[in-house]
Chains A and B, each alone.
Chain A
Amino acid sequence: MGFLYALIALGYTMVYGVLKLINFAHDAVFALGAVSTWYIFGELFGIDTPKTGLVLVITVLAVLIVGGLFSGGVAVALERVAYRPLRKRNAARLSYLISAIGASFFVTYLLQQDFLPFLTGPGPRQFPNIVSAAQDAFSFELLNVRVTTPRMLVVVGALICFLVLDRLINKTTTGRSIRALSEDPVAAQLMGVNVDKVIIMTFFIGGVFGGIAGALYGILFGTIAWNIGFIPGVKAFTAAVLGGIGNIRGAMLGGLLLGLIENMSTVCIGSEWKNVVAFTVLPLVLIFRPTGIMGERIGG
């Protein structure tokens, strides 16, 4: 779960790093990642049997790419509808927040409807059973924890995403413009950075990772619903703040830490208190490190 939080937290932290505002619509983007893959693979292609070997790898890759691209596209559309008009009007930060909440409501409750085939409707839906989580499949015990294929997949997928993103931000031209914009928007503009383009890129990258997280969520838990985004969204935002919002490595660290804290408290105190513990740790960390564990710089 920690890796999933970390993946979603990336979306929050990237938008925060560049625009200095909380993207409250990111939970909807995450949910769309799961819903789109459910529809395309489960309903259109009708894939419902566990795969093995190379076919498995290809299917999983396809699922993740579709989920990522779809969510990235939606994130860009949301930026276009809910953020850009406000940016052009120099609105206050609170206006962005409310507008993003509005966008989130719109998408989430649209998913709750069922007038179009790709909306989930009010009930939970079965995610295509691509990866077998059965006991006889690939699985082993590590420190009393059963490691199954879906769980391995989440860990590996998330790690690859981190590496890709870290390289992207620190080594490429796009990454350099994103970092420039987050450090000094005016200077970046003067140096010829196309602000609109970079912001779209930021939303797209954040959305892609949110979508991948959504698809992984579907693979991991097997069922999805219209409102899966809300709680992981809040948790991931907490994780982003914990690690230092605006900092990509911080988001990864914060996500893992939050997952760890939750599981530890489940073991030590009981699963019903895990949210309380997670949200109590946050202010404690913030009191001693007011900008999160790793500070606010977006790059490494």
Chain B
Amino acid sequence: MAMTGVPTRKSAPETLRSHLDRNYPRLSQKLPDTFVTPANVAFQGWRKLGYFRYLLAAILMATIPYLMDNDIFPILQGGYGINILFTTGYWILLTLGLSVVVGLAGLLDLGYVAFFMLGAYTTALMTDSGSPDQWHLVTWSPWLVLPFAVIMALVAGFVLGVPTLRLRGDYLAIVTLGFHEIVRQSVNNLTITNGSRGIAQIPSPVIDLPFYYQEFGLDAEYYWWFLLIPAILGAVLMIKHLDNSRVGRYWSAIREDEVAASAMGVPVTKMKVLAFMIGASVSGVAGWIYAIKIGYIAPNSFPLLQSILVLCAVVIGGLGSISGAVLGAILVVTLPEIVRELSGGDEIFGFSIEAGRIAIFGALLILVMIYRPGGLLAAKRRRTELQEAGAADGVVVAEDPGAHVKTRDADLWDDRKKGEH
């Protein structure tokens, strides 16, 4: 076992090795010390930064448009790169929101994009969009509408959550899937949403950063990226704090054993609805950004497939881990594009890789689930839970992994508690 880096005293600052051991034990075993030791310095420095980490991350993210515009990533230049960057950005928001619902509270939501859709349509109907004869609730500036997009998503989360969250997992899945379809079809049929033609010319807010644009010599518009940066980092911060708070512990209790949790006094339904609403609000923000960036929304921009793909992204990345959710979004958005770039229109036995990239993606999904059932970046705690869940529900129980899993889990909780004091 590669347990060399584990400090004997708990009060010592956490090393990269012990962090890896705790969260990614299999990765840790494969990495040699020569690789870990130099990285450890950076890791400890990063940990010491505290909240400045988020500032640093924001600055790093702000340089991406500069890198894109100046031939450093030639592939990502122009409209194509902007498209990918934007899609990845709002997908990260979506997966972060859904990882609260699925990863933290353990609720299977197959209609998550419905909230996204509601956020986008609220934005469209409350700003000065479309033709003058288009129906509007009000015609406000996009900035004023942001809170309403979030409130709309929150209310929808509440309305959907209160009656349905008493249902068990699989029923919840189909009801949420139905909810997506209800919202999509309603938007498609109502005249106030302009039916299947959608709403065009949604105004975008003006973010003037003359210094930034002049300094880096950018000519394209990147205002949406400066909306996505605070949104993503804010969501990460919120989820991290929720996970480490009383609410997060309620959620993990519900996820592991609902009956036991309610017997111990956890307000189960309340906490589930809360998870739903928080996930929905993140999605509402994403919808707002989507509406003002793209400027045109129609029911066909939000297919049922997207809800399912977001769930795939969350599970591939790793349930309940924030880095996993981000990775999942990046993979799901960019993988088909990478496959397209690499293949360059090649054909194998007449199989056009470019056209069949979704088929390849499907095959990859199966492979990931077989070899990393907990996702690529599953936190150790989640992965052990997943194995337990599988053992409890699975048909063939070869051996009970529960015993050693539970002790590892208990160790982790001890670590956390000691770390907090």
Residues of A within 8 A of B (CB): 16, 18-20, 22, 81-82, 85-99, 101-110, 112-113, 115-116, 181, 185-186, 189, 195, 199, 230, 234, 237-238, 241, 245, 272-273, 275-276, 278-280, 282-283, 286-287, 290
Indicate if B393 sits at the interface (CB-CB under 8 A).
yes
Q: Which residues of B contact A94 (CB under 8 A)?
A: 102, 108, 315, 319, 386
Point out the residue from A16, A107, A195, A241 that lies within 8 Å of B395, measured CB to CB.
A195
Q: Which residues of A contact B177 (CB under 8 A)?
A: 234
Q: How far is the CB of A78 from chain B (nearest CB, A)?
A: 10
Q: Which residues of B contact A95 (CB under 8 A)?
A: 315, 369, 373-374, 386, 390
Q: A102–B395 contact, CB under 8 A? A: no
Q: Which residues of A contact B352 (CB under 8 A)?
A: 113, 115
Q: A89–B373 contact, CB under 8 A? A: yes
Q: How far is the CB of A206 from chain B (nearest CB, A)?
A: 16
Q: How far is the CB of B34 from chain A (nearest CB, A)?
A: 32
Indicate if B2 sits at the interface (CB-CB under 8 A).
no
Q: B174–A238 contact, CB under 8 A? A: yes
Q: A87–B396 contact, CB under 8 A? A: yes
Q: Which residues of B contact A116 (CB under 8 A)?
A: 350
Q: How far is the CB of A178 from chain B (nearest CB, A)?
A: 12
Q: How far is the CB of B287 from chain A (nearest CB, A)?
A: 20
Q: A92–B390 contact, CB under 8 A? A: yes
Interface membership of chain B positions 344-380, coded 1 if the CB is closer than 8 angstroms to chain A and 0 otherwise: 0001011110011011011111101110011000000
Q: B174–A92 contact, CB under 8 A? A: no
Task: List CB contacts (< 8 Å) of B154-189 with chain A.
Answer: 163-164, 166-171, 173-175, 177-179, 181-182, 185-186, 188-189
Which of B126-134, B241-249, B304-312 participates in binding chain A? B304-312
Q: Which residues of B contact A109 (CB under 8 A)?
A: 356, 358-359, 362
Q: B175–A103 contact, CB under 8 A? A: no
Q: B362–A105 contact, CB under 8 A? A: yes
Q: A241–B370 contact, CB under 8 A? A: no
Q: A86–B369 contact, CB under 8 A? A: yes
9 smallest beta-carbon distances between A and B, as pairs = A102-B365, A105-B362, A115-B350, A279-B178, A106-B362, A109-B359, A92-B386, A99-B369, A91-B373
Indicate if B60 sits at the interface (CB-CB under 8 A).
no
Q: B363–A90 contact, CB under 8 A? A: no
Indicate if B68 sits at the interface (CB-CB under 8 A).
no
Q: Which residues of A contact B102 (CB under 8 A)?
A: 94
Q: How far is the CA of A18 from the CA of B396 in the complex (A)?
A: 12
Q: Given A109-B358, A110-B356, does the pair A86, B179 have CB atoms closer than 8 Å? A: no
Q: Which residues of A contact B108 (CB under 8 A)?
A: 94, 97
Q: How far is the CA of A186 from the CA of B392 in the complex (A)?
A: 11
Indicate if B64 sits at the interface (CB-CB under 8 A).
no
Show 7 residue pairs from A and B whose CB-CB distance is below 8 angstroms, ordered by the A residue.
A22-B170, A90-B387, A99-B365, A105-B365, A112-B356, A181-B395, A273-B185
Prevailing SS type, chain B contact patch: helix
Q: Which residues of A contact B315 (CB under 8 A)?
A: 94-95, 97-98
Q: How far is the CA of A234 from the CA of B182 in the complex (A)?
A: 13
Point out the residue from B168, B174, B389 that lies within 8 Å of A237, measured CB to CB.
B174
Q: Which residues of A contact B169 (CB under 8 A)?
A: 93
Q: Given A93-B389, A181-B395, does the pair A106, B319 have CB atoms closer than 8 Å? A: no
Point out the residue from B186, B188, B364, B369 that lies within 8 Å of A91, measured CB to CB.
B369
Q: B358–A279 contact, CB under 8 A? A: no
Residues of B within 8 A of A (CB): 102, 108, 163-164, 166-171, 173-175, 177-179, 181-182, 185-186, 188-189, 304-305, 308, 311-312, 315-316, 319, 347, 349-352, 355-356, 358-359, 361-366, 368-370, 373-374, 386-387, 389-391, 393-398, 401
Q: Given A22-B170, A91-B390, A95-B369, does the pair A104, B362 have CB atoms closer than 8 Å? A: yes
Q: How far is the CA of A19 from the CA of B18 in the complex (A)?
A: 38
Q: Which residues of B contact A185 (CB under 8 A)?
A: 395-396
Q: Which residues of B contact A18 (CB under 8 A)?
A: 395
Q: B373–A283 contact, CB under 8 A? A: no
Q: How far is the CB of B280 from chain A (nearest CB, A)?
A: 17
Q: How far is the CB of A97 from chain B (nearest CB, A)?
A: 8
Q: How far is the CA of A7 from the CA of B351 in the complex (A)?
A: 33
Write the chain A residue with the least CB distance to B401: A90
Point out the residue from A92, A245, A290 that lies within 8 Å of B373, measured CB to CB.
A92
Q: Which residues of B contact A287 (CB under 8 A)?
A: 163-164, 166
Q: How far is the CA of A278 from the CA of B177 in the complex (A)?
A: 12
Q: How far is the CB of B320 from chain A (nearest CB, A)?
A: 11
Q: A234–B304 contact, CB under 8 A? A: yes
Q: A110–B359 contact, CB under 8 A? A: yes
Q: A101–B182 contact, CB under 8 A? A: no
Q: How far is the CA of A287 from the CA of B387 in the complex (A)?
A: 31
Q: Which residues of A contact B316 (CB under 8 A)?
A: 98
Q: B356–A86 contact, CB under 8 A? A: no
Q: How far is the CB of A14 from chain B (nearest CB, A)?
A: 14
Q: Given A18-B395, A110-B356, A276-B185, does the pair A290, B167 have CB atoms closer than 8 Å? A: yes
Q: Given A91-B386, A92-B387, A290-B171, does the pair A102, B364 have CB atoms closer than 8 Å? A: yes
Q: A98–B395 contact, CB under 8 A? A: no
Q: Which residues of B contact A280 (CB under 8 A)?
A: 178, 182
Q: How far is the CA of A26 from the CA of B166 in the complex (A)?
A: 27
Q: Given A91-B369, A115-B350, A272-B188, does the pair A105, B393 have CB atoms closer than 8 Å? A: no
Q: Given A92-B387, A103-B362, does the pair A86, B373 have CB atoms closer than 8 Å? A: yes
Q: Which residues of A contact B319 (CB under 8 A)?
A: 94
Q: A290–B386 contact, CB under 8 A? A: no
Q: How far is the CA of A275 from the CA of B180 in the complex (A)?
A: 11
Point out the residue from A85, A90, A97 that lies within 8 Å of B390, measured CB to CB.
A90
Q: How far is the CA of A255 from the CA of B292 in the complex (A)?
A: 42
Q: How far is the CB of B329 from chain A (nearest CB, A)?
A: 15
Q: Which residues of B contact A115 (CB under 8 A)?
A: 347, 349-352
Q: How far is the CB of A157 from chain B (nearest CB, A)?
A: 26
Known A92-B387, A95-B373; further 5 A-B contacts with Cβ < 8 A: A22-B170, A98-B365, A105-B358, A283-B175, A283-B178
Q: How far is the CA of A150 from the CA of B270 in the complex (A)?
A: 51
Q: How far is the CA of A299 from the CA of B124 in the complex (A)?
A: 51
Q: Which residues of A contact B178 (CB under 8 A)?
A: 238, 278-280, 282-283
Q: Which residues of B contact A97 (CB under 8 A)?
A: 108, 315
Q: How far is the CB of B67 from chain A (nearest CB, A)?
A: 32
Write the chain A residue with the least CB distance to B398: A90
Q: Which residues of B contact A189 (CB under 8 A)?
A: 396
Q: How far is the CA of A127 from the CA of B387 in the complex (A)?
A: 46
Q: Which residues of A contact B166 (CB under 8 A)?
A: 287, 290
